[in-house]
Chain A
Amino acid sequence: MKKVLLIAALVVLFAALAACSPAPTPAPTAAPPTTAPQATTAPTTAPTAAATKAATTAPTSAATTAATKAPTTAATTAATTAATSSPTTATKSITFGVVLVGPYNDHGWSEANYIAANYVKQKLPGSDFIYLDKLNPSDRPGTTLEQVVTDMASKGVKLILTTSDDFQTDTTTAAQKHPDLTFINVSGDNAWKDGKNYKGLKNLGNFMGKMEYMKMVAGCAAALTTQTGKIGFLGPLVNDETRRLADSAYLGARYCWTTYAKKDPSALKFDVKWIGYWFNIPGVTLDPTQVANGFYDAGNDVVISGIDTTEALVVAGQRQKQGQKVYALSYDYINGCNEAPDACLGVPYFNWGPRYLKTVRDFAAGTWQPGWYWDGPDWKDINNPDTSAVGFTYGKALSNANKATIQNQFIPGMADGSISLWKGPVTLQDGSTYIAAGSTATDQQIWYMPQLLQGMTGASAPTK
């Protein structure tokens, strides 16, 4: 009996505590915590915005989200991004949900998405978001996406962005189960009509950035920098997406190695190692720190990171401090070089903001349509925060000469189509021809990349 009493008491206490708190508390107390993280990210996004284009508008837009001046600043950005905006009446309030696979401050994939959510909040008056980070079975055992969806829905959220390939199956299941909610799976393809995995759901969308181009830039930077001719690629898990990104990096490296450095293509070594997941999970994945160290020990002097987090660059930074001439390229996050600037050749990063903004704005206006978007760079300025879906941050360790080659030859070449690395012949790792000479790969061929390419070493987990 004692124990039963104990439990009863416990439940009563819990209930009492809950009952004691009246409804009015939410608004005032909720505000400071939600805006607090904002303050830390605002400075990181604002300077880049200021640096590239809107030196005068960036500070004002940051300061006036709640003020009456908002329409004017919104108008300037809206002009460049979305045609459907109606700045003066865009005060309809909307709260969207964002689910992140890693920590919101991982300096990688998840942080890039978190920044984009904040970008929407700044640019779209009346918009706000709630988010849950670290949704993976290791950080939150027992928490399913389904639970997060019901939790978010209970707060009135109607639009939920799930920002990992790892959420694709559960997002699609959730979309089938909750027809009243709209889902976007970032990086997925279940909403791609011409794709292999189209599900035909009215409340499911996808988008992704054409990171392939920026991975080519990363590969180019690596090939121009390496002294040993050996480049390591620190891969996450193996799937269509990661294969095509690793392949892109290799294509960029091989092009710059042969074209600009004028070296023998067979002298370029490009080794891929996969850790098994998007980031380190002790006991489950390989430790990316160890893998990165292994790369450098094996004579690779540049490592290109393909995972969500910054281990490769951190290791390169440590080794530089010991006097080694080794470098790394980070991934995903615009400020990804900050972990070890002196060892950083650059970061191919996602700029999710514009697509997030368009999606949320359309959804709020009731004009959102299910679809799949694969957004490319703004070739006029790949680092334009309001127009370019992918970009490249040049690292401090990239030499001026190499930077000039990339900036003045390689990128303009890709922009005008004179450099098209998906033009055949493209040969797969097993020796079979994937893209015949003379033809160019289709979106499907690039998206569903079946193998690594000839010239690369590492596991392909081939689809065919």
Chain B
Amino acid sequence: MKAMGERTEPSKGRVEETPRTREGVPAPAQEATARRGAGMWENLAWSIGPILLGLILTTLALLAVGANPVRAYTVMWKGAFGNAAQFSNVVSSWVPLALASVGLLITFTAGLWNIGIEGQIIMGAIFTAWTARTFDWPAEALIPALFISGIIGGAAWALLAGVLKTYGHVHEIFGGLGLNFVATGVTLYLIIGPWKRAGIASTSGTELFRPAAWLPTFPGGMAVGPIEIAVAVVSLVIVYFALRGTLWGLKLKAIGKNIRSAYWIGISTRLHLLGAFALCGAFAGMAGTVQAIGVWHRLIPAISGGYGYLGILVVLLSGFQAAGLAPVAFFFAAVSKGSVALPLDLQLDSSLGGVLQGIIVLLVILSQGVRARVQRAGASARIDSAVLASPVGPTAAPVEANENPPL
């Protein structure tokens, strides 16, 4: 919330009621805690508490199935960071996850729940696959073209959800969900239809792309290369600054906070919403490109890898902050990759990694709610509480996610 709060300040009189914030804590809560002198330590407790609790709950679950928790965590750690190749696996998973998250941050900032991101990743991969299968170009020309194809595919699919939302009044959750199914259907159709391998009818995937369409990897059997890392890092940096330091970013936040007010102060909300969709789709599409030419080297039905949905958790856990995306996505990638080592070593199901991720996200969100409630109660007589409890606005559901404490 830090970047958001600071930058929306100039227009706060009209756009949002919340006063200036510092250090990522919403003003009311912050002032209340400052007054009580707890400050930083309390912040820290609220941050670490849910994570500790998450680890404790996961540990209890491990004990309940008769596993050694310390050993389980060690195995996961080694599975993610045991050697360079394993670390490269984590990074290869971090790239599409970071791209999906950075796209989602844009739509979340605009107050949109872009559930359709899975479909946008898939569509990016489909467009990429088409280009890879169609043009017999050298790698230097082909790889940029592949990324552009992914961007076009993802953005177009996102715009479809955007048009459904802005012109058809179809909520983006339902529109997106529907489009996800359609995208999967298109993939399946292509894989067992026009793009099927000669003499084979299988949903397992298309033929491998030719080598020119493969993203190069670092030597020594690494799973990842410089291009996709650069794409992800540049994307993170661009979005960080675009949301933080541009008028466009400011307007997007205004829409996210309260679309009606934003409209009344003269922001073309429809255009901005469509833009947010398209941009998110573009990043998602690149995630699809990376999945297609960096990870699988072909089109498969589950090409999205679930990174779209996982990206939603990443954004939630990072508190809707661009700066938090990279580390949180990295943590998720490490848990996902590390947990594959669990069945190898301990005969434990690797879904434990998913359990850990889910529990932590849940508890962090829960703790934010509890914290708001506790502090509201503590300062009930104050005007702050009135501000905190003030209604959020007409586009309630998405905007709530953007407001920090009162979930």
Chain A residues within CB distance 8 Å of chain B: 1-11, 13-15, 17-18, 20-21, 25-26, 29-30, 33-34, 36-37, 130-133, 137-138, 140-144, 146-148, 150-155, 166, 169, 173, 177-178, 237-240, 274, 276-277, 281, 283-285, 450, 459, 461-464
A152 to B345, CA, bound (A): 10
Indicate the member of B204, B221, B345 with the most A CB atoms within 10 Å: B204
CB atoms of B51 and A463 under 8 A apart? no
Within 8 Å by CB of A7, from B71, B324, B337, lies: B324
Whether a CB of chain A sits under 8 angstroms from the CB of B44 is yes
CB atoms of A6 and B47 under 8 A apart? yes
A358 to B201, CA, bound (A): 33
Known contacts A6-B364, A21-B71, then 17 further A-B pairs from the complex at CB < 8 Å, ordered by chain A residue: A2-B23, A2-B25, A3-B47, A4-B327, A5-B43, A7-B328, A10-B360, A18-B77, A130-B344, A130-B345, A132-B340, A150-B223, A154-B83, A178-B221, A238-B199, A240-B199, A284-B203
Q: Given the known A-B contacts A2-B25, A276-B202, are A14 and B93 also in contact in the complex, defined by CB atoms under 8 Å?
A: no
CB atoms of A7 and B68 under 8 A apart? no
A36 to B66, CA, bound (A): 12
A contact residues around B295 at 8 Å (CB)? 142, 144
By beta carbon, the residue of chain A nearest B319 is A3
B contact residues around A450 at 8 Å (CB)? 199
CB atoms of A30 and B201 under 8 A apart? no
CB atoms of B70 and A17 under 8 A apart? yes
CB atoms of B200 and A237 under 8 A apart? yes
Q: Given the known A-B contacts A9-B47, A21-B74, A33-B346, are A154 and B86 also in contact in the complex, defined by CB atoms under 8 Å?
A: yes
Within 8 Å by CB of A150, from B85, B200, B302, B327, lies: B85
CB interface residues, B 214-231, toward A, < 8 Å: 221, 223
CB atoms of B77 and A150 under 8 A apart? no
B contact residues around A18 at 8 Å (CB)? 73-74, 77-78
CB atoms of B55 and A144 under 8 A apart? no
CB atoms of A10 and B343 under 8 A apart? no
CB interface residues, B 272-297, toward A, < 8 Å: 295-297
Can you report 7 residue pairs joining A to B where beta carbons are below 8 Å apart?
A2-B24, A10-B51, A137-B301, A150-B85, A154-B83, A154-B85, A461-B199
B contact residues around A238 at 8 Å (CB)? 199-202
Whether a CB of chain A sits under 8 angstroms from the CB of B198 is yes
Within 8 Å by CB of B340, from A9, A143, A277, A281, lies: A143
- What is the size, in residues, of chain B's interface with A at 8 Å between Cβ atoms? 74
A contact residues around B93 at 8 Å (CB)? 142
What's the nearest-Cβ distance from chain A to residue B55, in Å? Answer: 7
By beta carbon, the residue of chain B nearest A464 is B199
Within 8 Å by CB of A142, from B25, B188, B306, lies: B306
Q: Given the known A-B contacts A7-B331, A177-B221, are A147 and B340 also in contact in the complex, defined by CB atoms under 8 Å?
A: yes
CB interface residues, B 338-388, toward A, < 8 Å: 340-341, 343-348, 350, 360, 364
Indicate the member of A9, A147, A238 with the most B CB atoms within 10 Å: A147
A contact residues around B260 at 8 Å (CB)? none
Whether a CB of chain A sits under 8 angstroms from the CB of B107 is no
B contact residues around A1 at 8 Å (CB)? 2, 23-24
Q: Given the known A-B contacts A14-B73, A33-B347, A150-B86, are A285 and B203 also in contact in the complex, defined by CB atoms under 8 Å?
A: yes
A contact residues around B192 at 8 Å (CB)? 276
What's the nearest-Cβ distance from chain B to residue A95, in Å? Answer: 11
CB atoms of A11 and B327 under 8 A apart? yes
- Give the top 6 A-B pairs by smallest Cβ distance, nearest first: A463-B199, A237-B202, A137-B302, A18-B77, A142-B305, A238-B201
A contact residues around B2 at 8 Å (CB)? 1-2
CB atoms of B48 and A9 under 8 A apart? yes
B contact residues around A147 at 8 Å (CB)? 86, 89, 223, 337, 340
B contact residues around A3 at 8 Å (CB)? 24, 47, 318-319, 321, 323-324
CB atoms of B199 and A21 under 8 A apart? no
B contact residues around A239 at 8 Å (CB)? 199-202
Whether a CB of chain A sits under 8 angstroms from the CB of B258 is no
Whether a CB of chain A sits under 8 angstroms from the CB of B60 is no
Whether a CB of chain A sits under 8 angstroms from the CB of B120 is no
Whether a CB of chain A sits under 8 angstroms from the CB of B67 is yes
Whether a CB of chain A sits under 8 angstroms from the CB of B208 is yes
A177 to B214, CA, bound (A): 14
By beta carbon, the residue of chain B nearest A32 is B66
CB atoms of A6 and B48 under 8 A apart? yes
A13 to B76, CA, bound (A): 13
Whether a CB of chain A sits under 8 angstroms from the CB of B196 is yes
Binary per-residue interface labels of chain B (303-342) against chain A in the complex, 1 for a CB within 8 Å, 0 otherwise? 1111100000000001101011001100100101100110
A166 to B319, CA, bound (A): 40
A277 to B52, CA, bound (A): 42
A contact residues around B199 at 8 Å (CB)? 238-240, 450, 461-464
B contact residues around A274 at 8 Å (CB)? 201
By beta carbon, the residue of chain B nearest A238 is B201
What's the nearest-Cβ distance from chain A to residue B51, in Å? Answer: 5
Q: Given the known A-B contacts A7-B328, A7-B331, A276-B192, are A17 and B198 also in contact in the complex, defined by CB atoms under 8 Å?
A: no
CB atoms of B340 and A140 under 8 A apart? yes
Whether a CB of chain A sits under 8 angstroms from the CB of B245 is no
Whether a CB of chain A sits under 8 angstroms from the CB of B300 is yes
CB atoms of A138 and B201 under 8 A apart? no
By beta carbon, the residue of chain A nearest B320 is A3
